[in-house]
Amino acid sequence: MSLEIFAIEGIGEVRPHDDLAEVIVEAVGADVLRHRDCLVVTQKVVSKAEGRLVAINPSDPLSHKPLVEAESVRVLRRRGDLVIAETSHGFVCANAGVDLSNVEEGFAALLPVDADRSARRIRERLRARIGVEVAVVVSDTFGRPWRRGVADVAIGCAGIAAVVDLRGSNDALGRELKVTEVALVDEIAAAADLVMGKSAGLPVAVIRGLDDAWFRDSSQHSSVQSEIVRSPADDLFR
C-alpha cells in the first residue's frame, strides 16, 4: 500500500455562506479528485463557511474569554490564561475550541455545531457537483497531556470509518490481537497536517491510497462524535 498526500493550492479566504465543496472544486479543478480520495478540511474554514464567527473587541486581549466559558460544559484545568475545557461535543481542548488565529481581526471562530454533519455535507455536495465519492475528515489542532506540541486530530468525518477495529485479527505471529481499535481519522488528520502548514493558507489536503476496507457508503454509520469521543463514564481521566 502506498499513500499520496498533497495540499490543494489556491483556496483563498473562506467567508460565511461559502459553499466549501464549490470552493474546493474551483481550486483543484473538476478532474483531479478521485473515487476514494480522502479530503481533510481544517476546522477553521468549516467554521468560517458555517458562519461560526463571533465579533470580539480586538483591543481587549480577554474579550474572547466569555465565549470560552459559554462553549465549555466542564473546565478540566486552568493555568493563567489557559483553559482546558470539555465542549458540548465532548472534545477536550484548549479554550473549548475558541480560536483567534487565522481569523479576521475582531472575530473569534467557534467549533462547528456538528462537524460530522459538516463532513457529510461537503462529501454530498462534492458527489453532486463532480460525481466523485470521496471521504471527508474535518481536522482541528489539539494539545495533548503528557506530550509537548500540538497535533491535528479529527472532529468530524464522513464516508470513512472513524475507528478501525482490529480486534480478532491475528498479529504477524498468528495470535489473536486483543484490543486494537485504531483511531483512523485521527491518524489521517495528523498525516494531512504534514502538507498543510499552520500559516501557509492550505486548509484542504487530499490523501489518496487508503485501504478500500476503511471507506463507508452513505448508508453506513461514520462519526467522530459517536466513535471517537469517549464518554466520561468510560474515561479514566475525567
Residue 164 corresponds to which cell in the numbers above? Answer: 478501525
The DSSP symbol for 12 reads -
Is position 153 an interface residue for a second copy (rule: CB under 8 A)? Answer: yes
Check residue 57 for interaction with a second copy (CB under 8 A): no
Per rule CB under 8 A, is residue 237 in the interface with a second copy? yes
> How is residue 195 written as a grid cell?
502538507
144 binds a second copy (CB under 8 A): yes
Q: Does 151 bind a second copy (CB under 8 A)?
A: yes
User: Closest approach of Cβ 128 to a second copy, in Å?
Assistant: 28
Q: Is 216 in the site for a second copy (CB under 8 A)?
A: no
Say how far apart CA 29 and CA 25 lie, in whole Å: 5
The C-alpha cell of 213 is what? 476496507
User: Between residue 61 and residue 100, which ones bind a second copy under the rule CB under 8 A?
Assistant: 76-77, 79, 84, 86, 90-92
Quick one: which of 62, 155, 81 has its CA closest to 111? 155
Considering only residues 183 to 202 of the shown chain, the ones binding a second copy according to CB under 8 A are 183-184, 186-188, 190-191, 193-195, 198-201
d(CA 18, CA 146): 38
- Cβ nearer to a second copy, comparing 80 with 128: 80
- Residues in the interface with a second copy (CB under 8 A) total 71
Choose one: 4-12, 16-24, 27-35, 215-223; the region binding a second copy (CB under 8 A).
Answer: 4-12
| Residue 9 grid cell | 493550492
Quick check: 182 binds a second copy (CB under 8 A)? yes
DSSP 3-state assignment of 19? coil
User: Per rule CB under 8 A, is residue 60 in the interface with a second copy?
Assistant: no
Question: Which conformational region is residue 155 in: left (phi greater than 0), alpha (psi within -120 to 50 degrees), or beta?
Answer: alpha
